[in-house]
Amino acid sequence: MLIDTHVHLNADQFADDVDDVIRRAQEAGIDKMIVVGFDTKTINLAMELIETYPFLYAAVGWHPVDAVDFDDDKLAWLEELTRHPKVVAVGETGLDYYWDKSPHDVQKEAFRKQIALAKKMKLPLIIHDREAHEDITAILREEEAAEAGGIMHCFQGDEEMAKACLDMNFYISFGGPVTFKNAKLPKEVAKIVPDDRLLIETDAPYLAPHPYRGKRNEPAYVRLVAEQLAELRGITYEELAAQTTKNAETLFRL
């Protein structure tokens, strides 16, 4: 039994066959999935999916790439949605300096507001961090995000950043990139995360693990992430699966 803690079944890439994708995930032993909504369209689709499938849950937030579109009305909408019993996190939110489609100060403001929302609603955060390690860490500290805790999604930072996030009550989640042959840093970090702070994800349809790199990712492939982490940590697949499932159930109160 596995839990995919970050999947975009609400993405356009799954529009034609989402039911089949979900069926394949179940056949692969994926017991639960967290569907992440990050703008108006994907949030609405995530809410539809969790009403349809009992084993799907949602996270709702506003992506930093689209922070220019975030306003107080959308913040109030997110707060309303977080009252739904199957909405289990705020996010994904954070900073993205790679695509750089929203000014940094606008991204930071949207990020801070969503941290405050998570604290208010007593929900964990799902953090998106792309080429913004220092600012992410600083804002999490300044906003006392440890009160909410959450997930460093598809972690790409170094060991020092991982330890800083662990100290702030965050879990470290790994996806497809940890399986890439040239992914030296994620592989090293994956070895030092405490057992009770480790999570797995796909970020499907993005970042498919080896040997599917470059193709559409699916939640069924989270098993490949689990197998790689088990090998890196010197434990059995069954032990890794049991631990990460327990961690996800604890964090999201499933």
pLDDT tens digits along 233-248: 999 999 999 999 999 9
pLDDT tens digits along 55-89: 999 999 999 999 999 999 999 999 999 999 999 99
CA angle 249, 253, 254 (to 5 degrees): 60
Partners of residue 152 on adjacent β-strands: 127, 172
What is the reported pLDDT for 87? 98
High-pLDDT (> 70) share of the chain, %: 100
Asked whether the predicted pLDDT for residue 100 surpasses 90, the reply is: no
Asked whether the predicted pLDDT for residue 175 surpasses 90, the reply is: yes
Domains in the chain: ranges and CATH: 2-252 (3.20.20.140)
pLDDT tens digits along 116-135: 999 999 999 999 999 999 99
In DSSP notation, 118-168 reads: HHHHT--EEEEEES-HHHHHHHHHHTTGGGT-EEETT--S-HHHHHHHHHT
Asked whether the predicted pLDDT for residue 52 surpasses 90, the reply is: yes
In DSSP notation, 26-94 reads: HHTTEEEEEEEE-SHHHHHHHHHHHHH-TTEEEEE---GGGGGG--HHHHHHHHHHTTSTTEEEEEEEE
What is the reported pLDDT for 35? 98
| Residue 204 pLDDT grade (very low, low, confident, very high; cuts 50, 70, 90) | very high
